[in-house]
Amino acid sequence: MVMCLGQSLRKKYMRNEIWSSISYFGAPSWFITFSPADNMHPISLYFADTQETFSPELRPENERYRLIAENPVAGARFFHFMVEMFIKHVLGVNQDHPGYMARLLHTMLLWNSKED
């Protein structure tokens, strides 16, 4: 029998894998929701604007929304940039440093092992 990704049997198999992982490793205690606000961040507004030099300035709310609405590619570029920076600096992927999350997890593991 071949299992396709969208089949209900495949979904049930994946759900069982998740529950088995939770049973073995324990339930996750925190999650990260990544949602950069493209209408507030100066880099996003720079991508959406026509200025060649970056000069962060406070703009009225309606101008910020108009800039992002008129240039959806700028919002996509900003999101891609923020995700790349998150992966590079926070997770430390393909870097010579472990990343902030790895340091935080290491610290938490050390703290938990000393507590027992």
pLDDT tens column, 23-32 = 888 877 766 7
Within 1-116, residue ranges assigned H as helices are 8-25, 42-48, 61-70, 72-85, 100-115
Q: What is the pLDDT of residues 42-87, one digit of tens each?
A: 878 778 787 778 777 778 888 888 888 888 888 888 888 888 888 8
Contacts of 38 (CB under 8 A, 6+ apart): 44, 68, 74, 75, 78, 79
Q: What is the mean pLDDT of the chain?
A: 75
Residue type, 7: Q
Of 46, 81, 82, the C-alpha closest to 67 is 46
Of 44, 46, 54, 31, the C-alpha closest to 79 is 44
Tell me what pLDDT residue 54 has.
74
Tell me what pLDDT residue 91 has.
76
Answer yes or no: is pLDDT of 113 > 80: no
pTM of the shown model: 0.53
Percent of the chain with pLDDT over 70: 78
Domain ranges for the chain: 38-115
Compute, in degrees rounded to 10, the torsion defined by CA atoms 50, 58, 65, 88: 80
CA distances from 107 to 15, 38, 83, 87, 96 (A): 31, 32, 24, 20, 19
Contacts of 45 (CB under 8 A, 6+ apart): 39, 59, 64, 67, 68
Tell me what pLDDT residue 1 has.
53
